[in-house]
Amino acid sequence: MFLVGFRKNPHPPGTTHRVGTVILKRSYSIDASSGVLTPLDDPVPVFIKDRRDNLVRNGDFEIPFEGLLRSDGSYAEQAWMEDRTSAERIDLDECYSDGTPKKAVRLSGTDPNGRLTQTIAFDEPLGGRSFQLSLYARTDIEDAQIEDIQIKAGDSNAHQVGPDFERIIVGASFPAESAAKELTIGLPLAIDATGEPIDTYYDKVQLEERDFVTQWDPEYILRCESDLVPFKPQSDIIVSGFTGVAGACAVQVNGQTLLERVCGADEKSLFGWEPRVNVDEDRRHKDRGKFSDNPDHYPPEWPVIHPAKDPLPADFDNRYFNGYLRDVDGNMPAYLSSDACISILRNGSLDYAFSLAGERYDAAYYVLAGPDARDSEAHWRRQALTLNLDTLVVEPDNDTCYAVWRGVWDFDAHAEGDYRKLEITLL
């Protein structure tokens, strides 16, 4: 994979630098007993976009039902659809730090089959995959029943709820032969003792592709970040899942502890991705810098180099491209060695260990030798390119991992029209 992007250049400090970036991704199965890696027959693709952990959109109902307002005045496609019911966003007593009330949804109607639905699309068939749906629900009366919360084709249960929000969990596994690439969740109206539908309140709706339920987290918590990053100044080491054991946890590389924190048993990941958006300005969000409110300060198209229209804020820090957890104790190395020994500890005990495969690559790009040079491969000039192993994502629950090597160079060192070929060879 190849892209052109921007980073802040340290020489001179603060200037924006357009870079060419090549991305190489390798995925492996892990033999947990021997710690040996084997390349997967069906490799993990380069992620073009982020993959959210909570698959439900607007699960906390903070966004209006008509969707987010676009810059052109139109609205993005809404996530939730009313089916024989009326849905209204309401304010809760609980507020955000700025005093804004948090939201929930109230369903009303007279049809006992009324529900609020959301359809979720997947790239791959659902066959053999398991999901957990969790949500908070309440009614205005005691001992009401919520029947047939759906993950089509999924579970169908009755749950007793009252005036206080209670968490409900519904699981579903799809048959191995299922070729469907969409599932629909349905939140029904509750019924009273006489079987009549009554107002029903929902909040914090979360759908996870795993065999256990984790704590509620907003939608900006990611299962996987996009691999399309122009540059990473440090390594990202991510341990996805592998929770269930509370206590001190750590990741060691070649015997040195790089990541360390106290983990709860119901967290999503031992060392997951740091959100890009966070109300805490001292975390990753501060590296983003402050973008101007004036659109004239930025290029009208991408990529563009213009001295008066910097595509990155003046105080942008390249660490923003790194997604490791910012609340860990430890210092991330610049890059990982290709034969690094990885150890994962939970509650003070070594629970998982393996060694990287030691793969090395020779990389180069080719350009015209000069303005008067013949345009034939024999006359192209070879420019060596260093690939750095800057991302390692481990999924011990599945005994898999993937590694990303990234090569970066000054794209404007050559005219765009002079580039001819990019070459990577496994040594």
Q: What is the pLDDT of residue 294?
A: 65
Q: Which of the two residues, 406 and 172, has the higher pLDDT score?
A: 406
Instruction: List, in sequence order, every beta strand (DSSP E) within 162-294.
Output: 166-173, 182-188, 190-191, 197-198, 200-208, 222-224, 236-239, 247-253, 256-263
* CATH architecture entry for 81-208: Sandwich (2.60)
Question: What number is the average pLDDT over the span 278-304?
Answer: 64
Per-residue pLDDT band for 271 (boundaries 50, 70, 90) equals: very high
Comparing 25-29, 220-224, 248-252, 381-385, the range with the smallest average pLDDT is 220-224
Per-residue pLDDT band for 282 (boundaries 50, 70, 90) equals: low
Comparing 120-124, 254-258, 395-399, the range with the smallest average pLDDT is 120-124
Q: What is the pLDDT of residue 71?
A: 52
Amino acid residing at 65: F
Q: What is the pLDDT of residue 154?
A: 46
Per-residue pLDDT band for 339 (boundaries 50, 70, 90) equals: very high
Q: Residue 168 in 3-state DSSP? A: strand
Q: Which of the two residues, 170 and 281, has the higher pLDDT score?
A: 170
> What CA–CA distance (Å, rounded) separates 358 from 51?
28
Q: Give the whole-number percent of the chain exceeding pLDDT 70.
A: 87
In sequence order, the 6+-apart residues with CB closer than 8 A to the CB of 235 are 322, 324, 332, 333, 334, 335, 336, 389, 390, 391, 392
pLDDT tens-digit series, residues 19-41: 999 999 999 999 999 999 999 99
**Strand order across the beta sheet in which 190-191 lies:** 158-161, 144-147, 190-191, 197-198
Question: What number is the average pLDDT over the span 180-191?
Answer: 90
Q: Residues of CATH 2.60.120.260 domain(s) within the chain?
A: 81-208
Per-residue pLDDT band for 68 (boundaries 50, 70, 90) equals: low
Q: What is the pLDDT of residue 155?
A: 46
Per-residue pLDDT band for 313 (boundaries 50, 70, 90) equals: confident
Q: What is the pLDDT of residue 305?
A: 53
Instruction: List, in sequence order, every beta strand (DSSP E) within 189-340.
Output: 190-191, 197-198, 200-208, 222-224, 236-239, 247-253, 256-263
Per-residue pLDDT band for 158 (boundaries 50, 70, 90) equals: low
Q: What is the pLDDT of residue 302?
A: 45
Q: Give the whole-number percent of the chain exceeding pLDDT 90.
A: 45
Q: What is the pLDDT of residue 76?
A: 55
Average pLDDT, rounded, for the chain: 85
Closest CA to 392 of 319, 351, 340: 340
pLDDT tens-digit series, residues 357-408: 999 999 999 999 877 777 888 889 999 999 999 999 999 999 999 999 999 9
Question: What number is the average pLDDT over the span 35-52?
Answer: 91
pLDDT tens-digit series, residues 81-101: 999 999 999 999 888 877 889
In angstroms, the Cα distances linking 103 to 65, 88, 90, 201, 215 are 12, 10, 6, 10, 18
CA 116 to chain centre: 26
pLDDT tens-digit series, residues 201-213: 999 999 988 888 8
